[in-house]
Chains A and B, each alone.
Chain A
Amino acid sequence: MNKYDVVVIGGGHAGVEAAAVASRFGVKTALITHDSSKIGEMSCNPAIGGIGKSHLAKEVDAMGGLMAKAADKAGIHYRVLNSTKGQAVRATRVQTDRELYKSAVQELVNNENNLTVIEGSVIDFKIKNSQIKAVLIESGEEFSSETVVLTTGTFLGGVMHTGLEQSPGGRVGDPSSEKLAKKLRSLNLSVGRLKTGTPPRLNKHTIDWSILTPQPGDVPTPLLSYTSKKEERPKQLDCFMTRTNKETHQIIMDHLHESPMYSGVIEGVGPRYCPSIEDKVMRFSERDSHQIFAEPEGLESDLIYPNGISTSLPLKAQAALIRSIKGFENAEIVRPGYAIEYDYFDPTGLKHSLETKAIEGLFFAGQINGTTGYEEAAAQGLMAGINAALKTKKQNAFVLKRDEAYTGVLIDDLVSLGTKEPYRMFTSRAEYRLILREDNADMRLTEKGRNLGIVPDELWEKYLQKKRQSSLEFTRLKKVKLQPNTIEAEYIEHQSGEKISNNISLFEMLKRPKVFHSHLPQGSDELPTNVIDEIEASVKYEGYIKRQKADIDKLQRNENTPIPETIDYKNVVGLSNEVKQRLSEARPESLARASRLPGITPAAISLLMVHIKKGRRLVG
């Protein structure tokens, strides 16, 4: 009998997380993908992490997700970005071997119990009374399920553009989902088009490496996952840097009329933060050079990913522009760059659980919600998977708040504000940035995950150990006092330039900006880096975090003021029609959420507040 509790459609970064986590609830889960050998494929750049994104990847990891573990098994080049800035905005970026990554993901998926992988192209849904009932694949097989997670990436109505040529497809070598796109367009959902792009891939052996600037990975090499081991990591490779120049830019300008974006063929909106080289040259015309990272696609791979020159110009122009770049003079394009356009659905049509408001039991995760990036997809996949499983068990949705996780920020932004361009995570999107750090994602989330039953024992043990070590170290730092003119004090003074004139605890000392844990006299146990990072950040940010917590408490009052589901905004006296319409469409669950909607003024919130209070008085 083809009956499943949860069906996940799509085997990308959102799909695998959704399927794996749902299966951990002990519910019968199916992952349907058109080609099971493509599960965990990295369609664009071979890297995980980066600013804001590593935070998401670590959060997924802290709740038992797959992404960070697979990245460590495939990681061939690690760097911590923003290392000169504080803990909160430091971000790990891992370049991975594409093949190793894919096989690591597939192995992790295969290890899950209750999870069946099914090959097939989904072409239709059965929906009854706005409740999803079943999923149909091309072969005619039907899978009945009342909770379905849809993670279609760029496959929904996907069209690829190279120059003015276009062809349907979800990725080079893979067909797009036309029938499903048509089906979804017929439902009561608001659909839009977005575009993203990828650079041409170059033949490693045709690049003159001797004249490029090498960029080695960080030493000591970090890990992305809380549970990965150093031994699991493959050999490390260098990256190389080069730059575009005036000639490159001239070539682009000369061929701009052949660009699908600038000739008006593409209607979708591209990401502002990961723009194509055409966009960069047009938008920053005052610059005569842009940075390029030549990233290896893998240990055995002959492909080089030139990060920074995503383009959809015709192949001839691509070749010319590549060859104008230092070190690429004789470079051979193995696969041209292209732009891809695809369907997405306005995420304001979602609940915070990622379930669509229009169709019960249907969940969306990843690029279908207007995001870009593997990590953004994984975080949504995890949450959609959790909530789909919870729904089958008739339990309340699991929602992370903005002060708990970047994942919470991501989903709240999407659901409250929607997006007009591909949404990618940044640290500046998080108002509680100092609390939401790489070093404490486990402290924030692992216990929640364990309570849900999705955190494996290994991660749980690691977490408990870190918690123990960290609390012992805090006690020690508070207890041990430094005396002026001792060897220890002089060492700190020498290292940090901070003077010690009175007896002072190590804890107080660590608060000073230039003093780091490594300067202090150490305890008997050697502490792992992630414990030290967490301690340093908590101590240094203490004052700021206190203030942020106070803000959170203040907001909590509004967060906890629910807006009755039955509210008719037409009856709220004093609201402008525009505001009424916006609120009616978004139907925010609480006052705090309403206040984050675009165009909702504090004045509107106070009117709403008065209305809700009045309503309560009438009832009570």
Chain B
Amino acid sequence: MIEKKTIIAPATASGRGGISVIRMSGPRSEVIAQEMCGQLADPWRFKRCEIRSGENLVIDSCMVVFFKSPHSYTGDDVIEFHCHGNPTIVNLVIETAIKLGAVVAEPGEFTKTAFLNDKIDLAQAESVADLINAQSESAVIAANSSLTGKFSDAINNILDELTAIRVFVEANIDFPEEDVDKSLLNTCVDRLKSLSDQTTQLISSTVGGVKLRDGYSVAIVGPPNAGKSTLLNLLARENVAITSDIPGTTRDLVKVPVNLDGVLIEFIDTAGMRDNPENEIEKEGINRSREVIEKSNLSLVVQDANRIVEFDFGMEDFISVYNKCDLYGGQKKNGEGVFYITATTGQGVPELLKGLVNKLDIDEGQETAFLSRQRHVSCLTEGGLRIDESLTSLEEGQGLELVAENLKNSHRVLGEILRPLSSDDLLGEIFSEFCIGK
């Protein structure tokens, strides 16, 4: 019988620090750890041990803990070495374990093992990666909400109710001779309506969750030399974009992630655009800017307040920003989607950012949202659509088998959020996003 392999990898980032944690999981981890550190403490208790190399040299003196299967992160036996934060020590510990039969874990392999051992469902597994990659406070909170299973619970509630309704509908089809209470069919309509609402609600918090995970993107556009890059630099608080007085200085796109009130917003500086570009390079820059506008959630159209020009490059959602107000003598009254600033001094910028957050419709109380993926949104949307269709079939008195068919499809697609059907490609895709050691 081939044994499951025992995997090992650093669980903390490489570099020097207080401590580094190395994680090992698999049937041989206890044996290997004993070989390296002698007798271990009882499971789930730390013990200070001396780790010895194959040549019996002490590598480090560190804290070791044994998580016995199935009560561990992966569901298999897990050992954690909490050693001193030195990359050389970490490497030596791993090398020693490998000599004793462990193999280096692939990215995400620990979490994948947890999923395969049914410790967590797929949505939870995904949230592990999201938690690690979260770049803002709201994203951390939301990822945790998903990781602890709140998102899975919400899906499971919908699935349970779907099952109950399906049982009833199927019974009506398969037992027409039995006296099934017809009034129950009417309550089905109400139940489906409430299920549809539930799904819609979940979709909206999930859509918010996708934005949280991926963040928002805001394009900074405008005619040349309006001060777009100056604004970006101000937002980044460091000189990222090269600014000068020469119009058209920004040719390449410059992106700066900014953590705004706990939400990640990526500002993208673009080349200045004018109706009659002078050369090919400028033309190309304008093309790229157009693409950015299309992909962004919002555009900031920055104009020199003293030299306002006509500017229309197909922005749908935008805020007009009038810059260089220190030199401007006219009326400066912020209004709906209009802000007056001086990027060089920062004057008016706080108001602009507040307006921006409003315009993006970022819900301040994101605690209930889940950190989600496009996959979840598509499944939920499809599932909701089928519920609505089943409702239509029921209300229009179409055959009950069509109601059943829609409910079945909804059930299946929603179930895929937690337990994928055709697992191969999906799993590969999901776990490839992980870093090593998770």
CB <8 Å contact, A609 and B423:
yes
Q: Which of A326-334, A345-353, A424-432 contacts B (4 or more CB under 8 A)?
A: A424-432
CB <8 Å contact, B173 and A427:
yes
Question: Smallest CB-CB separation from A609: which chain B residue?
Answer: B424
**Mask for A25-44, Cβ within 8 A of B = 1, else 0?**
00000000000000000000
B424 to chain A, nearest CB (A): 5
CB <8 Å contact, B4 and A85:
no
CB <8 Å contact, A602 and B421:
yes
- Please name all residues of chain A whose beta carbon is closer than 8 Å to the beta carbon of B170 when the two chains form the complex: 426, 428
Query: Given contacts A89-B400, A427-B174, A547-B409, are A573 and B2 in contact (CB under 8 A)?
Result: yes
A363 to chain B, nearest CB (A): 29
Partner of B5, one of A554, A573, A601: A573
Residue B429 CB within 8 A of the other chain: no
B199 to chain A, nearest CB (A): 19
CB <8 Å contact, B4 and A573:
yes
Question: Smallest CB-CB separation from A602: which chain B residue?
Answer: B423
Residue A173 CB within 8 A of the other chain: no
Query: Given contacts A602-B420, A609-B424, are A513 and B176 in contact (CB under 8 A)?
Result: no
- Please name all residues of chain B whose beta carbon is closer than 8 Å to the beta carbon of A605 when the two chains form the complex: 423
Residue B118 CB within 8 A of the other chain: yes
- Please name all residues of chain A whose beta carbon is closer than 8 Å to the beta carbon of B113 when the two chains form the complex: 574
Partner of B173, one of A85, A557, A574: A85
CB <8 Å contact, A606 and B423:
yes
B406-438 with Cβ < 8 A to chain A: 408-409, 419-424, 427
Residue A82 CB within 8 A of the other chain: yes
Query: Given contacts A85-B173, A291-B177, A606-B427, are A433 and B115 in contact (CB under 8 A)?
Result: no
- Please name all residues of chain A whose beta carbon is closer than 8 Å to the beta carbon of B163 when the two chains form the complex: none
Residue B132 CB within 8 A of the other chain: no
Partner of A434, one of B118, B400, B405, B423: B405
Residue B398 CB within 8 A of the other chain: yes
**Mask for A401-442, Cβ within 8 A of B = 1, else 0?**
000000000000000000000000011100101100000000
B118, B177, B408: most-surrounded residue (chain A CB, <10 A):
B177
Partner of B398, one of A82, A86, A574, A606: A86
Cα distance A544–B405 in the bound complex, in angstroms: 8
A47 to chain B, nearest CB (A): 12
CB <8 Å contact, A570 and B419:
no
- Please name all residues of chain A whose beta carbon is closer than 8 Å to the beta carbon of B400 when the two chains form the complex: 85-86, 89
Cα distance A431–B405 in the bound complex, in angstroms: 9
Residue B116 CB within 8 A of the other chain: yes
Partner of A86, one of B175, B401, B424: B401
B287 to chain A, nearest CB (A): 37
Residue A88 CB within 8 A of the other chain: yes
Residue B57 CB within 8 A of the other chain: no
**Mask for A208-239, Cβ within 8 A of B = 1, else 0?**
00000000000000000000000000000000
Count class of interface residues, chain A: 20 to 34
CB <8 Å contact, A603 and B1:
no
CB <8 Å contact, B179 and A291:
yes
Query: Given contacts A570-B1, A609-B423, are A433 and B176 in contact (CB under 8 A)?
Result: no
Residue A503 CB within 8 A of the other chain: no
A223 to chain B, nearest CB (A): 21
CB <8 Å contact, B398 and A513:
yes
CB <8 Å contact, A86 and B399:
yes
Cα distance A606–B425 in the bound complex, in angstroms: 9
Cα distance A557–B420 in the bound complex, in angstroms: 15
CB <8 Å contact, B176 and A574:
no
B393 to chain A, nearest CB (A): 8
**Mask for B150-186, Cβ within 8 A of A = 1, else 0?**
0000000000000000000010011111110000000
Residue A52 CB within 8 A of the other chain: yes
B176, B400, B408: most-surrounded residue (chain A CB, <10 A):
B176
CB <8 Å contact, A571 and B1:
yes
- Please name all residues of chain A whose beta carbon is closer than 8 Å to the beta carbon of B309 when the two chains form the complex: none
Residue B396 CB within 8 A of the other chain: yes
A340 to chain B, nearest CB (A): 23
Partner of B116, one of A428, A433, A571, A606: A606
Query: Given contacts A85-B399, A434-B405, A571-B2, are A426 and B174 in contact (CB under 8 A)?
Result: yes
Cα distance A513–B397 in the bound complex, in angstroms: 9
- Please name all residues of chain B whose beta carbon is closer than 8 Å to the beta carbon of A554 when the two chains form the complex: 422
B1-33 with Cβ < 8 A to chain A: 1-5
Cα distance A85–B170 in the bound complex, in angstroms: 12
Residue A607 CB within 8 A of the other chain: yes
- Please name all residues of chain B whose beta carbon is closer than 8 Å to the beta carbon of A427 when the two chains form the complex: 173-174, 401
CB <8 Å contact, A513 and B401:
no
CB <8 Å contact, B424 and A89:
no
- Please name all residues of chain A whose beta carbon is closer than 8 Å to the beta carbon of B401 when the two chains form the complex: 85-86, 88-89, 427, 433-434
Residue A583 CB within 8 A of the other chain: no
Query: Given contacts A81-B177, A82-B176, A428-B173, are A603 and B115 in contact (CB under 8 A)?
Result: yes
Residue A103 CB within 8 A of the other chain: no
A506 to chain B, nearest CB (A): 20
Cα distance A299–B178 in the bound complex, in angstroms: 27
Question: Can you sample 23 A-B contacts with CB below 8 Å?
Answer: A51-B175, A82-B176, A85-B400, A85-B401, A87-B399, A88-B401, A89-B400, A89-B401, A291-B177, A428-B170, A433-B401, A434-B401, A434-B405, A554-B422, A571-B1, A573-B5, A601-B419, A602-B419, A602-B420, A603-B118, A606-B116, A606-B424, A609-B424
Footprint of A on B, CB under 8 Å? 1-5, 113, 115-118, 170, 173-179, 396, 398-402, 404-405, 408-409, 419-424, 427
Closest 8 CB pairs of A and B: A86-B399, A606-B423, A428-B170, A426-B174, A602-B423, A570-B1, A603-B116, A85-B399
